[in-house]
Amino acid sequence: MKIKLVGKNLEDIRPLLSRYGFEEAEREFELVIAHGGDGALLGAEREYPGVPKLPIRDAGTAELCQEHRCELQLEAFRRGETPLTVLPKVAGTARGRTLYALNDVFLHNLELSSALRYRVRIDGELYANEVVGDGVGLSSVHGSTAYYRSITHSIFRVGLGLAFSNSTEEVNHLVLNSTSRVEIEVVRGPGVLIADNSPEQIVLNEGEKVLLFESELQARIYGLANFMCPKCRLLRHPNKLPFRGFHLL
């Protein structure tokens, strides 16, 4: 199978490819192997949208459990044993441009020392006349375990998540229907629209609007459960092990 290899520490995985039937190619590849962390997967989907991805954690910086060593994942894929997950993507449109994201799209304050003021409409109805804070964003189900969770301390399983970052008003985070469309109007800016970890940004000034929604585009990811394995995560973050009590000296 012809593949595109992207990510970090590629020399750790490159010698294994031919052993498991993979051939690197610059064009007409059928699969993108993203070797690294969450950022590598997000970047791979942004650079090669629509092409199936096989994300594999970089063991040099993110220790893997014995079940998910790189060799085992490559062998499982060759045997056709790796499940495929199709994920919806979210989008933000402003100034005639659209940014797409696997995790989330956010309108943030451009000036760190000054809060963003904005108005929120959901499906054409006014939800908040003016919110003051660091920003507001729309998250996919997959992204609910990322920035959305850090803001809301929660996750969701269906629909879209609307999160308000450091707002001074008592405004509720929302889980919306996947068909909902959220319009954000900048009351006082400037604001900047960002999508995942993309370097591309759109600056919005007072009176300008951004539309946030679930895109018609989808991402096809193989082995997502392996990539998000709780056992692997505990190896990387041992402080999250269950509390076992203190030992007094």
Place of tokens 């490819």: 17
Q: What is the pLDDT of residues 73-119, one digit of tens each?
A: 999 999 999 999 999 999 999 999 999 999 999 999 999 889 999 99
Q: What angle do CA 88, 2, 80 make, to 5 degrees?
A: 65
Nearest Cα to Cα of residue 148 among 131, 162, 135:
162
Question: Residue 4 and residue 23: Cα distance in Å, rounded?
Answer: 8
Position 248 pLDDT exceeds 50:
no
- Give the DSSP per-residue string, the chain: -EEEEEES-HHHHHHHHGGGT-EE-SSS-SEEEEESSHHHHHHHHHHSTTS-EEEE--TTTS---GGG-HHHHHHHHHTT-SPEEEEEEEEEEETTEEEEESSEEEEEESSTTS-EEEEEEETTEEEEEEEEESEEEEE-TGGGGTHHHHHHS---SSSEEEEEES-SS----EEE-TT-EEEEEEEE--EEEEETT-S--EEE-TT-EEEEEEEEEEEEEESHHHHT-HHHHHHH-GGGSPP------
Contact 230, 238 (CB under 8 A): no
Strands 31-35 and 2-7: parallel
> Taking 80 as the threshold, does the pLDDT of residue 131 lie above it?
yes
The pair of structure tokens assigned to 219 is 């991402």
Q: Is 232's pLDDT higher than 60?
A: yes
Given this model, what pLDDT does residue 75 score?
96
Residue 149 pairs in a beta bridge with none
49: preceding bond cis by omega (within 30 degrees): no
* pTM exceeds cut of 0.75: yes
Q: How many angstroms separate the CA atoms of 120 and 186, rounded?
A: 9
Q: What is the pLDDT of residues 159-191, one digit of tens each?
A: 999 999 999 888 899 999 999 999 999 999 999
Please name which of 7, 122, 109 lies closest in space to residue 58, comparing C-alpha atoms. Answer: 7
Give the C-alpha separation, 74 to 86, whole Å: 20
Tens digit of each residue's pLDDT (9 = 90 or more) over 104-113 = 999 999 998 8
